[in-house]
Amino acid sequence: MNFNDSEIVASILNTQGYGATRNVEEADLVLLNTCSIREKAEQTVRQRLTTFKKTKQQKPGFLVGVLGCMAERLKSKFLEEEKLVDLVVGPDAYRTLPALIEEAGTGQKAINVLLSREETYGDISPVRLDSNGVTAFVSIMRGCNNMCTFCVVPFTRGRERSRDPYSILAEATDLFERGYREVTLLGQNVDSYYFVDESKDETITFASLLERVAGISPLLRVRFSTSHPKDITDEVLHAMARHENICNYIHLPVQSGSTRVLQLMNRTYTREWYMKKVDRIREILPDCAISTDVITGFCTETEEDHQDTMSIMEYAKYDLAYMFAYSERPGTLAARRYQDDVPEDVKKRRLAEIVALHRGHSHESMQKEVGKTVKVLVEGTSKKSDEQLFGRTDQNKVAVFDKGDLQKGDYVMVKIDDCTAGTLIATVVGRC
Ligand code: SAH
Ligand code: SF4
């Protein structure tokens, strides 16, 4: 999401004559787009800021700005405590960047961290940064209304709002016409996408948005992230089943396998409810890959709760999992209500246990592909060899295969011969 926000910022700045560079020496302005989700993310930003110290001393007029969630969370404190920062701009204030840059250029500290109930940047066409020309992100909503107790997002990104579906369709169509072959629809909670088109007296839900984007062309793959287990509907699953180009992949963060902990997290589902959701996905979409996010060591988590997380992972056998030790974030409901009482070494040990368990599941999930013939969208040259290309299967698994006369953006049928922990080794068997 931050990556896509940076593309929106690049587009706003382009209209002011700014271009992007990979070389800091060449830059007049550096903007760091930041994440506050865990303390580690914030530490990384602070370290990064110090690397610009020298350039700042050597180059008069060189400006450094902090964007995103950390800017929103720390507000003017950032300007006071970090002498290296000239601008602080929250996620809903990017349109004011040109004026803020001008202000900062005169030596004043520039800040705008106002959150908005309406801003979606819907009319801004993002400049694709670092693009492979094949896959792109499209934001469909901003903010979050969920209030999971561990999470800082509702405070840093504000209330949930959905982007006008016509601007989403226009952006995806334009990408397709420019040769892109995959869009990922982004939101903190895509299943609660909701737009009322008053002119047509029509309500557009996520399922109907998904179908409309899929309808642009059968050659345009559609992915989405993230689904909240409480909100993903059968309509979405049926839409996925109906359209071959909506990829069989769902990111369904579980966070914990213990109903008691889930309640403390305010996730609003129980262990059993989540398991039924997994069953439902497998029933309607037998080939669907499922990934997840897990937090270990949330406040009051016992060994028994931890075992519940292990057993739900065993049940779901995730294809991919992002696993984290709980990191208390100031201002969140958990920070205010509960004590961060699981010792760091226990959090880390539990994390290591779930990582090890998942490694086995991920290996099984890769092994299951061996022998199959599947369709892959070619995305670029393999990291290991110029003679090989890589692409992704419908289920988001990376496959590598010989280049032949294939191009980025082609669809190709490959037979999976073997696999490593993260890659399928394949042979091209035909064009699509
Ligand atoms: N909107 C998405 C999550 C966005 S944050 C959703 O609801 O699934 C991505 C992940 O970071 C979360 O799913 C959670 O697993 C993790 N996370 C969020 N806050 C955290 C915290 N305080 N400590 C550790 N992990 C956290
Ligand atoms: Fe955070 Fe929960 Fe919203 Fe996801 S759904 S962004 S975890 S509050």
Asked if the structure places residue 128 within a domain, the reply is no
Q: What residues contact 106, with CB distance under 8 A and at least 6 apart?
A: none
Query: What's the confidence (pLDDT) of residue 24?
Result: 86
CATH assignment of the domain containing 247: 3.80.30.20
| Residue where a domain terminates, one of 112, 146, 163 | 112
Angle, helix 165-177 to helix 206-214, in steps of 10 degrees: 20
- Asked if 274 and 343 sit in the same domain, the reply is yes
Of residues 394, 12, 395, 4, the one with CA closest to residue 186: 4
Query: What's the confidence (pLDDT) of residue 55?
Result: 87
Of residues 1, 79, 39, the one with CA closest to residue 331: 39
Asked if the structure places residue 130 within a domain, the reply is no
Query: What's the confidence (pLDDT) of residue 83?
Result: 78
Chain position carrying tokens 């020309």: 133
The answer to whether the beta carbons of residues 421 and 398 sit under 8 Å apart is no
| Separation CA 138–CA 4 (nearest Å) | 7
- Asked if 384 and 256 sit in the same domain, the reply is no
Query: What's the confidence (pLDDT) of residue 177?
Result: 98
Asked if the structure places residue 124 within a domain, the reply is no
**Structural domain for 218, as ranges:** 135-367
Reported as a pLDDT band with limits 50, 70 and 90, residue 400 is: very high
* Residue 149, ligand 2, Cβ within 6 A: no
Query: What's the confidence (pLDDT) of residue 165?
Result: 97
- Asked if 359 and 383 sit in the same domain, the reply is no
Query: What's the confidence (pLDDT) of residue 56?
Result: 86
Nearest CA owner, ligand 1 atom 19: 151
Query: What's the confidence (pLDDT) of residue 432?
Result: 85
Give, for ligand 1, the residue of 149, 191, 295 to mutate: max count of ligand atoms closer than 8 Å to Cβ: 295
* Residue 250, ligand 1, Cβ within 6 A: no
Give the pTM. 0.96
Asked if the structure places residue 119 within a domain, the reply is no
- Asked if 228 and 377 sit in the same domain, the reply is no
Asked if the structure places residue 127 within a domain, the reply is no
Which residue numbers belong to the known binding site for [4Fe-4S] cluster? 144, 148, 151
Query: What's the confidence (pLDDT) of residue 345?
Result: 98
Nearest CA owner, ligand 2 atom 2: 148
Number of domains in the chain: 3
Asked if the structure places residue 289 within a domain, the reply is yes
- Asked if 15 and 73 sit in the same domain, the reply is yes
Q: What residues contact 288, with CB distance under 8 A and at least 6 apart?
A: 240, 248, 249, 250, 281, 282, 395
- Asked if 242 and 343 sit in the same domain, the reply is yes
Give, for ligand 1, the residue of 151, 193, 338 to mutate: max count of ligand atoms closer than 8 Å to Cβ: 151
Give, for ligand 2, the residue of 73, 148, 231 to mutate: max count of ligand atoms closer than 8 Å to Cβ: 148
| Residue where a domain terminates, one of 342, 367, 392 | 367
- Asked if 56 and 153 sit in the same domain, the reply is no
Helix (H, G, I), strand (E, B) or coil at 334: helix
- Asked if 269 and 363 sit in the same domain, the reply is yes
Asked whether residue 233 carries a pLDDT value surpassing 90, the answer given is yes
- pLDDT tens sequence across 93-102: 999 999 999 9
- Mean pLDDT calculated for residue range 78-104: 92
Asked if the structure places residue 117 within a domain, the reply is no
- Asked if 390 and 337 sit in the same domain, the reply is no
| Residue where a domain terminates, one of 367, 389, 415 | 367
- Asked if 345 and 394 sit in the same domain, the reply is no
Ligand 1 mean position to 260 CA, how many Å? 18
CATH assignment of the domain containing 392: 2.40.50.140
